[in-house]
Amino acid sequence: MVHTGEGPAPRADGDDPVVLSLRSVSKRYGDVVALRGISLTLRRGEAVGYLGPNGAGKTTTLKILAGLARPDSGEVSVAGVRHDGSHRARDSLGVLVETPGVLPYMRGTDLLSHVAEVRGLRVAERAAAVRQAADRLGVGDVLSRPLGKLSTGQLRRVQLAATLVGAPDILLLDEPTLGLDPAARVDLRALLRQLRNEGHTLFLTTHLVEDVQEVCDRVLFLREGRLVGDEAIRRDGRASDGHRTLVVRTLETVDLARVSGALPSGTTVLRRSDHEVAVTFEGDEGEQRRVLGALVTAGVGVVEATADRPDLAARYMALVGREEVP
């Protein structure tokens, strides 16, 4: 829920409690203003993407939420308490910054064990906590190696495993797929979706639209330290007004009049190319089946029909624009 810093503070809807919030937070580094009075809230179990170009203030926001930086003004709340760096707030968080510093001679086991100790886990619990986190990221076979000897992707997965030690409720992840190959990105996105489904709250700062589209329920758009958008993400082809859009690909060149005439009233058709149309209608999956059946009955050579996802990249360009290169 976006608030520009003017007027009343935002109120998040829903039954789950607010677990992260910023209220009118500003931050400056010398002459550079990183954040300009932003306010936001996240509820338990949400996965929220934080999209913006380099220098927009994404990492600064994450560091303030993590207690790694203090705002110049405004309030921060984590797990229902004002975040002042206390253990009560920190123990709820698993944090991955974009470029965490690691000692090259430290082993992965040492890193994860250190995190378990910092989290206050009892000695008898630490080995199991380390093993569980390592298994989720598939890094058990490299934990005995020095971190400086790992590939970029292996190191990133070990760092991500460290955020899961002790099963924190809230995960703050800065560019989580940085350095991963395409297959590893797919696997990580699946893990993040699983964590979301298990009730964890995820806050992903990234410049990759795909990460947000595949994992998150909401997206916040950041530009020059200001929040400029807060939108729900749908993955079922339905717009916020309840309509559903299917992209239908055909064998032959689309006869728009023929396609339109075959469809139920209230359905709209837009030609996208010679062999593709977008069909928009109101209804559930049963109505979707009737629409496709009508096309087939009318002799339209349907090759493929897929739900049209909201174009998050287009929304990003509309709200944020291109990154300026000096």
pLDDT in tens, 226-258: 999 898 887 665 555 567 788 888 888 888 888
Structural contact between residues 50 and 61, judged by C-beta atoms closer than 8 angstroms: yes
pLDDT in the model for residue 310: 62
Going 280 to 282 to 288 to 294, the CA torsion angle's sign is negative
Q: Are strands 18-29 and 73-78 parallel, antiparallel or unpaired?
A: antiparallel
Structural contact between residues 50 and 22, judged by C-beta atoms closer than 8 angstroms: no
pLDDT in the model for residue 97: 83
The reply to whether 64 and 201 lie within a common domain is yes
Structural contact between residues 71 and 33, judged by C-beta atoms closer than 8 angstroms: no
Residue of 110, 106, 162, 118 lying closest to 136 (CA atoms): 162
The reply to whether 277 and 200 lie within a common domain is no
The reply to whether 29 and 109 lie within a common domain is yes
Rounded to whole angstroms, how far apart are CA atoms 126 and 23? Answer: 36
The reply to whether 173 and 192 lie within a common domain is yes
The reply to whether 247 and 204 lie within a common domain is no
The reply to whether 190 and 250 lie within a common domain is no
Rounded to whole angstroms, how far apart are CA atoms 214 and 167? Answer: 22
The reply to whether 50 and 157 lie within a common domain is yes
CATH no. for residue 269? 3.30.70.1560
The reply to whether 178 and 254 lie within a common domain is no
The reply to whether 197 and 175 lie within a common domain is yes
The reply to whether 52 and 126 lie within a common domain is yes
**CA distances, 100 to each of 55, 66, 156, 178 (Å):** 18, 13, 10, 12
Residues of the chain with pLDDT under 50: 1-13, 325-326
Domain-embedded: residue 11: no
pLDDT in the model for residue 89: 64
Domain-embedded: residue 12: no
Provide the number of structural domains found in the chain. 2
Domain-embedded: residue 264: yes
Domain-embedded: residue 267: yes
3-state SS record for the chain = CCECCCCCCCCCCCCCCEEEEEEEEEEEECCEEEEEEEEEEEECCCEEEEECCCCCCHHHHHHHHHCCCCCCEEEEEECCEECCCCHHHHCCEEEECCCCCCCCCCEHHHHHHHHHHHCCCCHHHHHHHHHHHHHHHCCCCCCCCEHHHCCHHHHHHHHHHHHHCCCCCEEEEECCCCCCCHHHHHHHHHHHHHHHHCCCEEEEEECCHHHHHHHCCEEEEEECCEEEEEEECCCCCECCCCEEEEEEEECCCCCHHHHHHHCCCCCEEEEEECCEEEEEEECCHHHHHHHHHHHHHCCCCEEEEEECCCCHHHHHHHHCCCCCCC
Domain-embedded: residue 6: no
Domain-embedded: residue 59: yes
Amino acid residing at 310 = P
The reply to whether 191 and 300 lie within a common domain is no
Which range marks the domain in which residue 297 is found? Answer: 243-309
pLDDT in the model for residue 2: 40
Placement of tokens 């990133």 in the chain: 156
